[in-house]
Amino acid sequence: MPARRPARGDRGQVAIEFVGTVPLILLLVAAVWECVLIGYAFSLAGNAADEAARAGAVRGDGACTSAAGEHIATTWKMTSDCGASGDIYKAKVTLQIPVFFPGLGFGAIDGTAGAAMEREED
């Protein structure tokens, strides 16, 4: 009687599937992280513009620029544009969209806000 060979079956299949799906899982995690950073950048830009417009309406251009960057780290590469437009003081804050972490960017997000003037013009 010939020796019986063991059934090969699915041995090792789980390991192969795991190795094949790990890059896809990592790519998905990176995409989700990028979406989180973009959403956070929108939130930061809007809040900075609100604070800058309010400070500019009360204390002027210098206060507007400093208020815009008060709560934003320097790695976010922020620029601000402040000025009065009639009875409204407007502020625009631009943040670079980060790639995986703040500091590397591939686009920009604008946050704009306005506040009623509360001081007398010189």
| Whether pLDDT at 121 is above 60 | no
Enter the pTM of the model.
0.76
Q: 3-state class of 115 per DSSP?
A: strand
Categorize the per-residue pLDDT at 49 as very low, low, confident or very high, splitting at 50, 70 and 90: very high
Quick one: how far is CA 122 from the chain centroid?
38
Digit-coded pLDDT (tens) for 2-47: 667 666 666 777 788 888 899 999 989 988 988 888 899 999 999 9
Q: Nearest-CA neighbor of 41 among 115, 113, 100?
A: 100
pLDDT at 112: 95
The two tokens of residue 19 are 């190795």
